[in-house]
Amino acid sequence: MTDLSRVGSFTYHGTWNIRVVQKISDWPQRIIIEGAVNLVIDAVLGVSRKISGDTWRLRIEHNAGGLWRPNTLFVPGPLVTRRGVKKQTIFSKDRYWPGDATPNDLVVELRPAGTGMTVFRWRAVKKDLTPCKDGLRGPEPRYLAVDLRNTGHRPFDYDTLLNITTAGRNALADHGVHILDTWSDQDRRRVRQEVHGGAVSVPPIPTGEHATAHFLIDASSSRAGQPEVEFELLNAEDLSDYGPSGHRASLPVEVGDAAPTIASISERHGLGVSTGRLTAAPADPTWVSPEVISPSGQARIGRLS
């Protein structure tokens, strides 16, 4: 969150729970939310709302004599942890009176409620970072590219890393796709990222924005399936504001067979439906066995032209 008290509001990012924890003023009070979310909250004691948006502002007003006016003073407290819960308290004063300058007319508590990130898209890419036409299968893919979005309430800084967890690596390995942790200088230059152990660096990401991270892979022995791959953020300063699930996200990844099927070959040559599967490349790549059924229903064995 950002203190913009000079203009009478505070700026927030992501998802927060808001609750009125104290109201001693006789004047009605209201909380104004503006930006990605626009909402007016009648600030009575105990009222609570969940606000979720990329960027939004909070301000407080009071009604004196039928006219809504900005409260005179806002005092935002720091984001602190109490019994394992992160929260921030805003104290406000609607109007100064002789002998009464304490900002306690309306007290509002905010708790971060969003997750730190989501991983929402993946693709297999070649050395030149163009997508692999056949997806994640066989020796062609060089990297697994994933897009992650900052869904938290703070930007990701330069120290943020993305890793595939042990569970995620095992899920891919079960389908013959292996994450490689030893990178060449050329590989790092291609994707413009650093590697720290098994984790890769991501660029600074403002809240609500997204970026791409690349993992070096070997899919030469891939086997068809759809493993659920788990990712985790590391080293980001704002991770302390989330529970364990707040900096982890999963994404299903479609893996194909490294060995071509008769169906794919017959489709490519207009031969119809296949009845078999190649498990290894034949010495003569134009020879197909076992049988391929032609569109006329006749079995054909031999060379493809």
Q: What is the DSSP letter of 94?
A: S
pLDDT at 262: 52
Which residue is associated with the tokens 């209201």? Answer: 30
Mean pLDDT rounded to a whole number for the chain: 82
Least confident span in 16-30, 196-210, 219-233, 234-248: 234-248
Q: How confident is the model at residue 166 (pLDDT cuts 50, 70, 90)?
A: very high
Cβ atoms of 278 and 259 closer than 8 Å: yes
Give the residues across from 97 on adjacent strands: 100
Phi, psi of 236 (to 5 degrees): -70, 135
296's tokens: 């006329």
Render pLDDT for 63-76 as a digit per residue (tens, 0 to 9). 998 899 999 888 88
Cβ atoms of 33 and 43 closer than 8 Å: no
Q: How confident is the model at residue 179 (pLDDT cuts 50, 70, 90)?
A: very high
Phi, psi of 126 (to 5 degrees): -85, -175
Would the CA dihedral through 190, 191, 194, 197 be positive or negative? negative
pTM over 0.75: no
**What number is the average pLDDT over the span 223-235?**
94
pLDDT at 154: 77
Q: Which position has the higher pLDDT, 110 or 15?
A: 110
Please give the share of the chain, as a percent, with pLDDT higher than 70: 79
Q: How confident is the model at residue 224 (pLDDT cuts 50, 70, 90)?
A: very high
146's tokens: 């994933």
Render pLDDT for 107-142 as a digit per residue (tens, 0 to 9). 999 998 877 788 999 999 999 999 999 999 999 999
Q: How confident is the model at residue 299 (pLDDT cuts 50, 70, 90)?
A: very low
Q: How confident is the model at residue 81 (pLDDT cuts 50, 70, 90)?
A: confident
Q: How confident is the model at residue 271 (pLDDT cuts 50, 70, 90)?
A: low
Euclidean distance between CA atoms 258 and 167, whole angstroms? 22
Euclidean distance between CA atoms 267 and 236, whole angstroms? 48
3-state secondary structure of 203: coil
